[in-house]
Structures are given as structure tokens and as C-alpha cells.
């Protein structure tokens, strides 16, 4: 009896960089793509030229940009160990955060302190917990928000929906609005902050985002005061671009860092907010409006309880 076996050989892949990965270092991007490949192997395929960006050789520190084409060589990966199951309490926390569910997407009011994906010091992010809770379904992050930030987060339920939603987020008609409590009395009225941002600065061994008028990427935020308090101002912030730490850096650039921000505000100010009960920075992704499948979709997340409590402890100024 004859037995014909056909083995599929690994193939070179070409991937186009999505907006969410814009500005990421090449080595970090590859470490995420090839999760089960040793770091030494990742650097070897970069140095050998097996990985290329837009047909050209690149270095580990090269920053990838949206719409770049990255050549990914066939790489043998170790068999994955059985995935560790997230704690039941964490799965409950994630599933209870779902505000809207359709065949194309889920919309969450992401809890503060929960990363959107696993990483350094974080065994589970929202996306890993969701996949563990519903293992037979497709889920992928449409965009990201900081671990400390609460609010609207969209997860796609198909590849087609993922591409369509990411395109929609980058459309000029899309509106993204945050609530931020900033230090001090804001006296600028409605202010448009057009300050390019760069991620190429290290401070005390930690990478930070800075305003860089030479090499920075276009970044636009519009700050509108909503309520004045003694020592702080509640702002509505519309962003026209989605750079890493954009609101935090722009607020600090205006001389009014986000309350409780442990990276871009003074240590003494952050310690004072913690002493008054604000355990994280006051930043909430309040609303996203976008066009999807021919309809205007509005996703709005109520303010997180810890931030509501923080506001109640402040003295309003009429």
C-alpha cells in the first residue's frame, strides 16, 4: 500500500505595517510576531538581511512605519506549551466590561490597570483573557490604550472587520475624545496643540515621548476646559492623531500635566494625588465616533468609578 505524504514548506511572508504598530522598533515587532523564537535568533535574522523593510536591510533599532512592507523569513518555532489559563476573576472582569457586542466587533469600557495585551510584567492582557474565555472565536485589537487609561476599546471579531475598523479609525471624519484632569488652573480656553512627537529619547533608562520639532511625527490635540477645580481643571481632549502618550505629553507641554501621571508630571505632584486617593493618572477614553459599514457608530464609556470618586473630592470653582 502506498502512502503519499505532502509537507508544506514554510514560506516567506510579506506584511504591511498597521497604524497601531507605527513607530515600533523592528526587534520588538519581531519578538511579538515570533513569540516562540529565541531573542538571539531574532537578531540573527535581522543582521543577516533575512528581514527587510521595503526591500532594504534594516537594523534592530529601525523604527517601522505605517504601510511599510516587512519581509518575514520562514522561522522554525518551538512547539507552544499549553496556554496558562487566566484567573476566573480576571475573565469575569473582562467579560463584564463589554458594552456592545455585534457580529463584527466588541466594544469595552476597559478597566483601569488592565493592559490591552500581555507584555513585560503582564502575564495577561485584555485580548489574551478574551481569547481564553472564548477560545473558538477570532479576536484582535483594533487599537490600543495605555494600561492605566480606562474607557472605550474596540476589538474586531474577523479579519475583514479588523481592516475596516482600522481604516475607519484613521479617517478624517472619525472623532476620538478623552477626559483628562490636568494640574493647575487652565487659562488657555480652547487650545489646539500642534506639537510633533518623538519616541527616540531615553531618560533614566526608560524610553519616553518628547516634543520634537525636527524629527517628530505630526501630533494634534484639542483641549477644551469643562470644569475648573481648586488646583486642577477637567478637560475634554479631542485627538486628531493617535501617537503614543500624545495627550499626556501635550498636556505637560502646555504646563498642565495630567493629574497622577507618573511619567510626565513631577514626582511630588503625583505623590500628592496618590495621598488624596487618586491611584493612577486621570485619563479616560470617553468616546469614539466613526463610520463603519455605511453607518455612523458612536461608542461612549461612562467615567470609571475611581475617577468619579476623585472628582467628588475636589472643590469646584464656578
Model confidence at 197, in pLDDT bands (50, 70, 90)? very high
What's the average model confidence in pLDDT over 273-294? 95
In the annotation, is 146 catalytic? yes
Question: Could you tell me the fold of the domain covering 88-168?
Answer: Pseudouridine synthase (3.30.2350)
Model confidence at 83, in pLDDT bands (50, 70, 90)? low
Q: Beta-carbon neighbour count of residue 268 at 10 Å?
A: 7
pLDDT at 148 over 60: yes
**For residue 3, what pLDDT is reported?**
43
Burial class (CB within 10 angstroms; exposed 0-12, middle 13-18, buried 19+) of 309 = exposed
Q: Which residue would you say has higher pLDDT here, 160 or 223? A: 223
pTM, to two decimals: 0.75
Q: Which residue would you say has higher pLDDT here, 120 or 126? A: 126
What's the average model confidence in pLDDT over 242-264? 94
How do residues 162-184 score in pLDDT, each as one tens digit?
999 999 999 999 999 999 999 99
**For residue 18, what pLDDT is reported?**
82
Stretch(es) of the chain classified as CATH 3.10.290.10: 13-72
Choice among 27, 68, 146, 261 that is catalytic: 146
pLDDT at 5 over 50: no
**For residue 283, what pLDDT is reported?**
98
DSSP structure class, residue 25:
B
What's the average model confidence in pLDDT over 36-45? 88
What's the average model confidence in pLDDT over 116-131? 86
| Residue whose C-alpha cell is 507584555 | 119
The full DSSP string for 95-124 is HHTEEEE-SSEEEEEEPTT--SS-BTTBS-
pLDDT at 51 over 70: yes
CATH number belonging to domain 13-72: 3.10.290.10
Q: Which residue would you say has higher pLDDT here, 187 or 207? A: 187
Question: Could you tell me the fold of the domain covering 171-317?
Answer: Pseudouridine synthase (3.30.2350)
Report how far residue 318's alpha carbon sits from residue 309's, in angstroms, rounded to the nearest whole number.
20
Cell numbers at 247, concatenated = 495627550
Contacts of 25 (CB under 8 A, 6+ apart): 60, 61, 62, 63, 64
Stretch(es) of the chain classified as CATH 3.30.2350.10: 88-168, 171-317
Contacts of 57 (CB under 8 A, 6+ apart): 49
Model confidence at 8, in pLDDT bands (50, 70, 90)? very low
Report how far residue 280's alpha carbon sits from residue 136's, in angstroms, rounded to the nearest whole number.
35
* CB half-sphere exposure, 24, CA atoms < 13 A: 19
Amino acid at each position: 500500500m502506498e502512502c503519499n505524504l505532502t509537507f508544506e514548506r514554510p514560506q516567506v511572508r510579506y506584511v504591511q505595517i498597521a497604524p497601531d504598530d507605527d513607530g515600533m522598533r523592528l526587534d520588538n515587532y519581531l519578538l511579538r510576531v515570533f513569540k516562540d523564537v529565541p531573542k538571539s535568533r531574532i537578531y540573527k535574522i535581522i543582521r543577516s538581511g533575512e528581514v527587510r523593510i521595503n526591500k532594504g536591510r534594516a537594523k534592530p533599532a529601525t523604527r517601522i512605519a505605517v504601510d511599510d512592507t516587512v519581509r518575514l523569513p520562514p522561522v522554525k518555532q518551538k512547539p507552544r506549551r499549553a496556554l496558562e489559563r487566566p484567573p476566573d476573576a480576571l475573565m469575569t472582569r473582562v467579560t463584564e466590561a463589554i458594552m456592545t457586542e455585534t457580529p463584527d466587533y466588541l466594544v469595552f469600557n476597559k478597566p483601569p490597570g488592565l493592559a490591552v495585551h500581555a507584555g513585560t510584567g503582564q502575564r495577561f492582557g485584555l485580548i489574551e483573557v478574551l481569547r481564553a474565555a472564548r477560545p473558538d472565536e477570532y479576536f484582535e485589537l483594533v487599537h490600543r490604550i495605555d494600561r492605566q487609561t480606562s474607557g472605550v476599546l474596540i476589538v474586531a471579531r474577523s479579519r475583514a472587520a479588523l481592516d475596516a475598523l482600522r481604516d475607519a479609525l484613521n479617517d478624517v471624519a472619525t472623532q476620538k475624545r478623552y477626559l483628562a484632569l490636568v494640574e493647575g488652573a487652565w487659562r488657555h480656553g480652547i487650545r489646539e496643540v500642534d506639537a510633533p512627537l518623538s519616541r527616540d529619547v531615553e531618560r533614566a533608562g526608560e524610553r519616553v515621548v518628547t516634543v520634537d520639532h525636527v524629527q517628530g511625527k505630526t501630533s494634534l490635540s484639542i483641549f477644551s476646559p469643562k470644569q475648573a477645580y481648586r488646583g486642577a481643571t477637567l478637560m475634554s481632549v479631542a485627538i486628531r492623531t493617535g501617537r503614543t502618550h500624545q495627550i499626556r505629553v501635550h498636556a505637560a507641554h502646555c504646563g498642565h500635566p495630567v493629574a497622577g501621571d507618573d511619567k510626565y508630571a513631577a514626582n511630588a505632584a503625583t505623590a500628592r494625588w496618590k495621598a488624596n486617593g487618586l491611584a493612577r493618572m486621570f485619563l479616560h477614553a470617553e468616546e469614539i465616533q466613526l463610520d463603519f459599514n455605511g453607518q455612523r457608530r458612536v461608542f461612549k464609556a461612562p467615567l470609571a468609578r475611581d475617577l468619579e470618586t476623585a472628582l467628588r473630592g475636589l472643590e469646584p470653582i464656578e
